[in-house]
A and B are shown apart, each in its own frame.
Chain A
Amino acid sequence: MPQALLRSPGSTILAAAARLRQRNLLDRLLNWYIDSVRSHFALHGLRAIKSPDIPGIMSDPISIGNSVRRVLSTLCDALHHYMFPISFLYAENSNKEDMLARIRFRHSLNAMIDIALSDHEFQLMAHLLVEHQLAACGRNEEQQIVDREEDEPKRLAFLTGIRQQIDILGVQDRMERIVADVYHTFIPRYVSRQYARIWEQEERQESLMVELKDLIYGPISRCIATLIRRDELLEARLFELATESLVKLGIKEAFDMVIYFPDSIPALEYLKMCLRTQEHRAQLVTAFQNACHARLLHCGANTSDIISFYMSTIKVFRLLEPRGVLLDKVSRPIRRYLRDREDTVKCIVYGMLEVEDANTGDLSELGKELAAASGAQNADAVDDNDYFNMNWVPDPVDAAPDFRNKRSSDFIGSLLSLYDNKEVFVKEIVVVLANRLLELKNYEIDREMMHLELLKLLFGESDLHNSDVMVKDILESKRVDSNIHDPTTVAPGTYPVAGIVHASMLSRLFWPAFRDEDLVLPPVIEEQLNRYSAKFSILKSARKLTWLKRLGTVDVTLELEDRTLDFTVSPDRASMIYLFQDKPTYTLNELMARLNLDEAMTRRALGFWIKNDVLKEDETCKDKYILLERAEERKKKMLLDDAAESSVQTAEEKATEEMRIYWSYVNGMLTNIPALPIDRIQSFLKMLIPKEVGYSRSVDELRDFLTVMVAEEKLEFVSGSYRLKK
């Protein structure tokens, strides 16, 4: 309805209006008019706004912008149209009643416009329009500033148009609300899109702030100020919002920064600068803990990975906050989880002793740390009882009640404090050390001695006393062995021992328990061992060697028809392959009988030779094995990589033994008391198992154990209680 079509009323109409005014009936006319305007608007105006030819919210930014403008201009036209008669009825700048009447009419119009603009689709379009405008100010995905110089005036002109319509319609408030809504979501999103995972370059962190400031004080502020009333605090508020978003981004990315440490140091420095409020600290802790639970502390992660992540966490949070309060908080779930893992101790000990093992992963960093840490003991410890320390500050208010300023920058100390006593580590160290010493071929124990000395600094002399004896045994063995091989000492009537046989004499009481199964060695070797024993008895009168035939290593050279292979293997494997020298096929049972091995060991040894393509299982006959004189086409065999097998009773086996004891208690308990909840079982075990055996499992460990028993159908779990399965 173009304005030109509106015609001024004729004189009769004006006279009629004047008459009504005299009789005070003008109000009724106005009421009638408002009613007709309402029904007219509802009939025609709303339809014009919602007409189907308006492109939907899914279209491109330009058509959305045009649609918004079109809706607004339709409303503007309607407003003009409806206001027109009023200007004749009530002159401007007239008396008070006329003013009030005009205002009344305007109010009812405003209400109609408001209803029209509340339309959901229009709201969305307006939001999108503003968002597109803001997005046009920043960088897009290609990291280019979209807003070229010549574009900006065009966009601003467009916005000015909208601004004018808004002013006419008197809906600035509504627009302000939309704009505020948009920038509150837009800026965090923009920041996290543009600056996510940028941690490395130091300058980047600096320039980032400058860039953001330029953007906010420049194009964005111009754009917003065109659209709504200007507010002096606008830029400051926007900038605050942006920095806040950056901190939030840093908090969200803390987990990744730990993974990429030390490459992420610049970003961490920046995060440290921004972490000022308690709220941020709390957010950081929660976000980090959640990320840990979701991404790290589950059974899919290797223990060694968790440990090395923990070490990075220590470094990162020490950097963020040297006091260690945050570290204390974030590391609690990790520590709790590590405590529950079975192979944690093993991984740590392997790491410290720099043992390479496929299952425990590479934690040799720990070994280096061990060497480094021993030099600088307690260098940075803060003693709270040092009353002369003028730089003392209290712990931050968010410190946990049981927070202790541990020297948590030292990983070894943190890892050792995972468990209440160091006993578990000492046990494992002795086992690992024993294995290592037994694997030695030339009595070279320098490396082990160095490790042992370092470990002594950590655990104290007394706990590792046994290991001292072990090392000394090897040293002594070296001497005795060279004596035995000395040709000048051959007694008349005896044969010299072949140079290939070397033995270690172990003081049984000081070594961990050995598996005491026997093994049948090839007669040639037995003969050599007997000579060795005889010579030993001469050297050390009244002492006799007891051979542990399962221990040690054998260098084997296999000369087959088409190839020669060298291996270093355990005695049982060597003895097995020696048997094949006489006859090319054996059955499993024959092998077990000839070697005096149990089935599991035999199969494992067979697996080794099969994997190395020396033996194969007969395809026609199960459990029959053939020597491969000629190498066959290598088949893809999915044989499990056999874990380095320990000849010493491992800590794990000890745990199994303990569990056997606990099971007989649980069994006895439930035989006599029909059903018990887990808490009662736990307190029974705690109370009733004598101290010498000891019960130190947590409820969770017990629950795991009972769950296994339920799975084995020994127990059943009924309404919160465990009972024996009948």
Chain B
Amino acid sequence: MDSQNTAPAAFSSHKMQDAPAAMIDSHSVTKRLQSELMQLMMSNVPGISAFPISDSNLCQWTGTISGPEGTYYEGLTYKISMTFPPNYPYHAPVIRFVSPMWHPNVDMSGNICLDILKEKWSAVYNVQTILLSLQSLLGEPNNASPLNAQAADLWDGNPAEYKKLMMTHYKDIDEINDQ
């Protein structure tokens, strides 16, 4: 693990649970997330967006990703949830697809297999880079370690069948919002 992923305040599990440390942490997490939001809002990259779901808890966000052009997912929009740990950005946020997602690296309950969200997480990543990585994952899956083997097989083997199966799982974002 990179050294930059280590929290400056000696990174050990028992210290993380100290109440005062947690409080200071939660404050700095809030600040960090606030400035990440500002950055995200101001850069205004098309196709990706995210926002906290409540004004009281900045650690829970919801986001939307549009499928990149020239991929199976072009024109579709997916909803995701992002949960930031109290020691963010030293730990990666937990990201899940809320919309049903049929993709080689996403399982049926929306869990994502993406290296930068797991072992390759680094504190230099931020919400915007995560969203961009996810967006590019839609076009370039890692078929070597699939969570959805059928999808991985069909990706190159049978594009028509892939598109068909993927569309049977797709749900419009309005439908999801209405739930």
Bound pair: A and B?
yes
Once the chains are docked, how many angstroms separate the CA of A689 from the CA of B177?
25
Least CB separation from B63: chain A residue: A672
Contact with B along A659-681 (1 / 0, CB 8 A): 00100110111011110000010
Tell yes or no: A688 within 8 A of B by CB: yes
Contacts of B38 in A (CB 8 A): 689-690, 693
Once the chains are docked, how many angstroms separate the CA of A689 from the CA of B53?
15
Contacts of B51 in A (CB 8 A): 668-669, 671-673
Q: Quick check: B55 and A674 within 8 Å, CB to CB?
A: no
Interface centre among B37, B41, B177 (most CB of A within 10 A): B41
Tell yes or no: B35 within 8 A of A by CB: yes
A interface majority secondary structure: helix
> Given A661-B42, A664-B44, do A672 and B174 touch, yes or no (CB 8 Å)?
no
Contact with A along B166-179 (1 / 0, CB 8 A): 00000000100100
> Given A661-B42, A664-B44, A688-B55, do A674 and B35 touch, yes or no (CB 8 Å)?
no
Once the chains are docked, how many angstroms separate the CA of A257 from the CA of B40?
56
Contacts of A665 in B (CB 8 A): 41
Which residue in B37, B52, B55, B62 is a CB contact (below 8 Å) of A686? B55
Tell yes or no: B113 within 8 A of A by CB: no
> Given A668-B50, A671-B64, A672-B64, do A687 and B42 touch, yes or no (CB 8 Å)?
no
Which residue in A668, A680, A690 is a CB contact (below 8 Å) of B55? A680
Contacts of B42 in A (CB 8 A): 661, 664
Contacts of B61 in A (CB 8 A): 672
Question: How many of B's residues come within 8 Å of A, CB to CB?
Answer: 23
Once the chains are docked, how many angstroms separate the CA of A687 from the CA of B174?
27
B interface majority secondary structure: mixed
Tell yes or no: B122 within 8 A of A by CB: no
How far does the Cβ of A663 sit from chain B's closest Cβ, in whole Å?
9
Q: Quick check: A664 and B55 within 8 Å, CB to CB?
A: no
Residues 52 to 85 of chain B near chain A (Cβ within 8 Å): 52-53, 55-56, 58, 61-64, 79
Contact with A along B28-44 (1 / 0, CB 8 A): 00000011011011101
Question: How many of A's residues come within 8 Å of B, CB to CB?
Answer: 19
Once the chains are docked, how many angstroms separate the CA of A689 from the CA of B41?
10
Tell yes or no: A683 within 8 A of B by CB: yes
Once the chains are docked, how many angstroms separate the CA of A690 from the CA of B41?
12
Tell yes or no: A684 within 8 A of B by CB: yes
Once the chains are docked, how many angstroms separate the CA of A582 from the CA of B35?
56
Once the chains are docked, how many angstroms separate the CA of A710 from the CA of B49?
21
> Given A668-B51, A669-B51, A673-B53, do A661 and B62 touch, yes or no (CB 8 Å)?
no
Q: Quick check: B49 and A673 within 8 Å, CB to CB?
A: no
Q: Quick check: A672 and B49 within 8 Å, CB to CB?
A: yes
Contact with B along A615-642 (1 / 0, CB 8 A): 0000000000000000000000000000
Interface centre among A672, A684, A688 (most CB of B within 10 A): A672
Once the chains are docked, how many angstroms separate the CA of A661 from the CA of B61?
20
Least CB separation from A689: chain B residue: B38
How far does the Cβ of A673 sit from chain B's closest Cβ, in whole Å?
6
Q: Quick check: B55 and A687 within 8 Å, CB to CB?
A: yes
Least CB separation from B79: chain A residue: A672
A-B contact pairs, 22 of them (CB 8 A): A661-B42, A664-B42, A667-B41, A668-B37, A668-B40, A668-B49, A672-B53, A672-B62, A672-B64, A672-B79, A673-B51, A673-B53, A673-B62, A674-B177, A687-B55, A687-B58, A688-B52, A688-B58, A689-B34, A689-B38, A690-B38, A693-B38
Known contacts A668-B40, A672-B64, A687-B58; can you find 6 more A-B pairs with CB under 8 A? A661-B42, A672-B53, A688-B37, A689-B34, A690-B38, A693-B38
